[in-house]
Chains A and B, each alone.
Chain A
């Protein structure tokens, strides 16, 4: 028996999250929980998600009430063995609250930066250690995260912080996306976009990186690995383009056409296995992005070049075998944009098709996706 009392705090899912609402407890007080058990459903202004327990033991106290909105780090519950008495838990809760009140607002969150790359301006967010670790060993190879069509670097908000525990993780906006410039240097095809990402890597002083690409970003990562294998340590494809001809062009065209809340909400429903995850803020943010000058021509050019005639123009299946870079694929089984069957291009051991998730598998199943990426890049580092 241990007399350790462990807190469960409000998680921080991404930069923008300052508070979360406890929608529901998924376990009863007194239940034995294992690390990774789904214990809470938490709603943020961006997304609703289940929270997996970071600790194991008996859930002694549900401190947060259902429906309560609490800041990041606030005490949600307390885990301790059955031998710990109630008074000790009361004292722990009181002490934690006092400490949290004294700590006040968290340190300023890192902000994305704008950097001139060749022919465009990239917006990038860097998290994690900058340089050599305390052990004196060289810095771990950084991870570079590349979003999909119509996305931006915040698509990785549930992934980037978790992966940045022991290495630098940089998420970028592609040309025409997010806060990057809305010009496409060299055009909208996969090869040109991969060239732009190379330019961004140079601007970020990244010589070699593990690439994590979602959808369109996955095809760009494969192109980059083919063009410059020396710059790529591994490739993680998330619901990726480039592995088969099919793509849901109704979605692509719907996303380009939608200029109103109702249309946009209906369009992005196809991204998730569980459409209830789509919040008003998510739809508003997409509309705000699409209203920026230059976005529509950029999206049009990419769709015309990369998905001409409703088919994916760039295919990498024939080149995978010769690729000197390890590649894994993660897919949502219920992906309605690019069929999960495309994952079969990747060997069984490196293919992970997750149930109950759609095209935004990294938002719907972040904990599993993060574990898969972390294990893969660590193994690839050797």
Chain B
């Protein structure tokens, strides 16, 4: 099967869904690029080149370069979704989301509920997240816990190219607002990705490693590190199950509880800040639902509760590493 990058996988999902359904439109800053200026058309395809090639195929009617006003075009995308289109809006960096919280939290997330189930809001908001890019504190946050906190939103965090394509197709076909998180350090990761369209259901975890000793839950880029740690530990005779929930809302709590029931030990790896983050959320879930299965206290591997540093040396020290996951696993095994 063909190997494709995370970037190609998302591009392919968008292309196939736009071919299948004329209601799917793209909007965002430079999703094509070059609008209204002399020079190259389709110059950018978004800041990371994910949407390149879509404007030439589908035209500017369906691939809309917007002004630099997140509050404006996110609101427009939500309104368009409420009135019949299926927009995919590119919010570039999740760090910029703050200016459109009302549109997302109070409008998109609430329409279905406030209108008695009679309204749907099939909008997808794509956004980049995560550190390691030397992009400093205002372009490196995770912030998915904020969106997971809001009922009415679906939150998707793919960790591989295969998942990225299938989850994006599901996001576009879903009738609820979906915040689609793309880790900026994963765009060049390669994986076997079928040419045909496919949808991965939300709320179904992926088990990337299987073992009886320790359950490791990780999201996004942390899944790669958890796999690395699990492989290193296996050589020393410690077998980990690595669970990638893939979506934090809805979340596949069954898979986590079932695995902890077998292993009795849990390490949660989260690139988000430790307070009110997904690591704390998963730890609380297990403490409440599977306390008697636990053979050791739950360990969280997260960055410290500080902004992402700009200094490369500090940024590297800030992020969780495979070595820190190994250490935590050894801690719960001790």
Contacts and interface: CB of A to CB of B under 8 A. Distances in A.
B207 A292 contact: no
A280 interface: yes
A259 B210 CA distance: 20
Contacts of B28: none
Interface string B30-46: 00000000000000000
A152 B60 CA distance: 41
A260 interface: yes
16 contacts: A182-B196, A259-B201, A259-B204, A261-B204, A261-B255, A262-B254, A262-B255, A288-B198, A291-B166, A291-B200, A292-B196, A292-B197, A293-B196, A293-B197, A293-B199, A294-B196
A260 B204 contact: yes
Given A259-B204, A291-B198, 19 more contacts: A182-B196, A259-B201, A260-B201, A260-B204, A261-B204, A261-B207, A262-B254, A262-B255, A262-B258, A280-B207, A288-B162, A288-B194, A288-B198, A292-B194, A293-B196, A293-B197, A293-B198, A293-B199, A294-B196
B207 A291 contact: no
A213 B228 CA distance: 42
B14 to A, nearest CB: 15
B199 A291 contact: yes
Contacts of A288: 162, 194, 198
User: Which 5 pairs across A and B sit closest by C-beta, in order of nearness?
Assistant: A291-B198, A293-B197, A292-B198, A292-B196, A280-B210
A17 B11 CA distance: 30
Nearest to B241: A280
B215 to A, nearest CB: 15
Interface in B152-209: 162, 166, 194, 196-201, 204, 207
Residue among A262, A280, A291, A294 with the highest chain B CB neighbour number at 10 A: A291
A241 to B, nearest CB: 27
Interface in A278-306: 280, 288, 291-294
B58 to A, nearest CB: 19
A294 B196 CA distance: 10
B156 to A, nearest CB: 15
Contacts of A280: 207, 210
Contacts of B207: 261, 280
B142 to A, nearest CB: 26
Contacts of B258: 262
Contacts of B194: 288, 292
Contacts of B210: 280
Interface in B207-241: 207, 210
A262 B254 CA distance: 10
Of A182, A260, A262, chain B has the most CB atoms within 10 Å of the CB of A260
Contacts of A292: 194, 196-198
A363 B305 CA distance: 52
Contacts of B166: 291
A114 to B, nearest CB: 10
Interface in A57-116: none
B154 to A, nearest CB: 17
Interface in A187-202: none
A262 B259 CA distance: 12
A290 B291 CA distance: 36
A216 to B, nearest CB: 22
Contacts of A260: 201, 204
Interface in B48-78: none
A260 B204 CA distance: 7
Most-contacted residue by chain B among A182, A262, A288 (CB, 10 A): A288
Interface in B250-289: 254-255, 258
A262 B258 CA distance: 11
Contacts of A291: 166, 198-200
A204 B194 CA distance: 23
A382 B254 CA distance: 58
Nearest to A111: B1
A214 to B, nearest CB: 23
A279 to B, nearest CB: 9
Nearest to A181: B196
B254 to A, nearest CB: 8
Contacts of A182: 196
Contacts of B204: 259-261
Interface string B130-169: 0000000000000000000000000000000010001000
A259 B204 CA distance: 9
Contacts of B201: 259-260
Nearest to B208: A280
B239 to A, nearest CB: 11
Interface string A248-278: 0000000000011110000000000000000
A288 B204 CA distance: 13
A280 B255 CA distance: 14
A262 B198 CA distance: 20
B253 to A, nearest CB: 13
